[in-house]
Amino acid sequence: MDRARYDQFVATFFDADPKAVTGIFQEFLDSMKAQQALPPGHYLSQNYETAQANPEIHLLPGNLKDARDAVFPYFWGTDGWTSPLHLENVRGPANAASLIGAIACLLKNPNLCTDTYSQRSNELEVKAVTALANLIFYHTIDPWGVFTIGGTISNLYGARIGVEKVVPGAMRNGLGGVRVAGVCSDAAHYCAATVAGWLGLGTDNLHHIPTDRNMAMRLDALADKLDELYRRGDKVAFVIATFGSTDAFGVDDVAGIRTVIDEAAKRHGQPPPQLHADAAVGWALCFLNEYDTAANPFKIAADTLPVIDRAKHLAKGLRVADSVTIDFHKTGRGHYPSSAFIVNRRDDLRHLARTTTSMPYFCDAIDRRDPALFTLETSRPGIGPYTVMASLNGIGLHGWQMLIGRALELAQYLKAKLAKLDYCRVLNADTPGMSVLWWVLPKGRNAKDIFAKLEAGELPPEDIQRYTAEVRRLFNKREYSLDPAVDARLSYTTDIGYRPHGHLIPGWKAVFFHPMTDEAVIDRLVWGIEEMI
């Protein structure tokens, strides 16, 4: 081995010059700043065939600038969602406090599987999980949990605990021919089907409960479904309550669901299913739990205060959930991945536990602190707890209240504007979130009357097809004609989660995630609709 050459190589890549690293980081920051001056762009040219045909690896060791050059074209070609015109979905720019946490994590690169691999970073995860648990469950006694790679995996954890509760030993022996069912609403995230399939229940054994016009699970329909499942001999492993649906921000009555499932299980002599709250989107409403709407210290718009009071009431229901999913990279404006799975009672994690005899190189693991004993993953990045704790404490409770309050304020502003247009119909007028869904029909049509007839079952199928096609056609017309420098980018959904008489309802969609979006963006949006129709 040529030691001089080797030592130079090691110094470049494992004892990096701080000036070289920070200089390149500054270049990336400058690039981000330059992109902020641009409107949100469409997808740049992507050539997957070329990428696959040219997976080059340099022959000779280079330097950190070679590393920069290898990724920079793709960095520049990736939208950072830094424009306030981005209203498409539950995504926005990550906050700067989260960036500080992420940098700290990446410098040390801990693996949260055990204390040995993470030292105090494992302690930070416990701190972050407890902080979130106290926010969600409101000062619960013995919470625990872990950060995962996404909301789907977090929901998988909750469902898996439920399976073990109703089929003890399933982790070891399998389901043994027992028919196991799961339940969610029509507005639940589609990952519920992924969970049912991957757990071996089968997607046909995931049962969807109709929602009301607020995209909340109907409790009467839930009770009927549970009685049906129990009568035919199914084991109901889990009920997933949605706390903030991805499209309409529908919020289930978690406390009501708790009552229904406990009563049904007792009536049929069965163990109650795991009540898991998928709060990936809606959890951040809990920052408002102690906001004094009477004093209104941040002078939030008057028409938004009842929304906050409704959100506070609904958030109380989370306290009776067995487990919850939180996506900090959504309404927490943090970096990916920062999803958390949290149980209300630490003892529930015993249903996921394995012994050290099955983990020979972790034979010294201690169940009090080493997550590898019960996690799906072995290697887990520390970026979640680092970005969460940096964001929670950097922004502070009052900062979070302003951020969430402002998003709700803008959603109410758009709802009020659209409600004045006869040919528009807001589809989620009473949901307490930052999403707005609506219909736009041609001038001369009364969208509100048409929707009322659809709900009443008075529209023939051909009329429903014609009206929903018009909603899509006008959305596409706007997409083709918008000015990307001034017009907000919206998204479209084919199913808002409310299905009167079985009909799927589509809608235009705007989500207020960007903290710099203002009323002028909304005024332009509404003006553009009026001009286009």
Contact 367, 253 (CB under 8 A): no
What are 148-186's pLDDT values in tens digits? 999 999 999 999 999 999 999 999 999 999 999 999 999
Per-residue CA distances from 531 to 56, 175, 304, 481 (Å): 51, 59, 28, 11
Residues 6+ apart with CB under 8 A from 370: 113, 114, 115, 122, 362
Q: Are 506 and 471 in contact (CB under 8 A)?
A: yes
Residue 381 near residue 359 (C-beta atoms within 8 A): no
pLDDT category at 69 given cuts 50, 70, 90 is very high
**Gap between the Cα atoms of 240 and 254, Å rounded:** 9
For the chain, percent of residues with pLDDT exceeding 70: 98
Rounded Cα gap, residues 160 and 146, in angstroms: 15
- pLDDT digit string (tens) for 370-382? 888 889 998 999 9
Q: What is the DSSP letter of 410?
A: H
> pLDDT tens digits, residue range 324-368?
999 999 999 999 999 999 999 999 999 998 877 777 777 677 766
pLDDT for 356 equals 74
Mean pLDDT of 482-486: 93
Between helix 151-166 and helix 191-198 the angle, nearest 10°, is 50
Q: Which residues of 490-514 are buried (b: 16+ CB within 10 A; e: fewer)?
A: bbbbebbbbebeebebbbbbbbbbb
Q: Is residue 122 within a helix (H) or strand (E), and if so which, with residue range? A: helix 120-133
Mean pLDDT of the 6-28 span: 91
CB 419 within 8 A of CB 203: no
Instruction: Determine which helix (DSSP H) or strand (DSSP E) holds 507, and give its type and residue range.
Output: strand 507-511
| Choice among 76-90, 185-199, 403-417, 460-474 with the minimum mean pLDDT | 76-90
pTM, whole model, 2 decimals? 0.95
Among the listed residues 369, 257, 366, the one whose alpha carbon sits nearest the alpha carbon of residue 321:
257
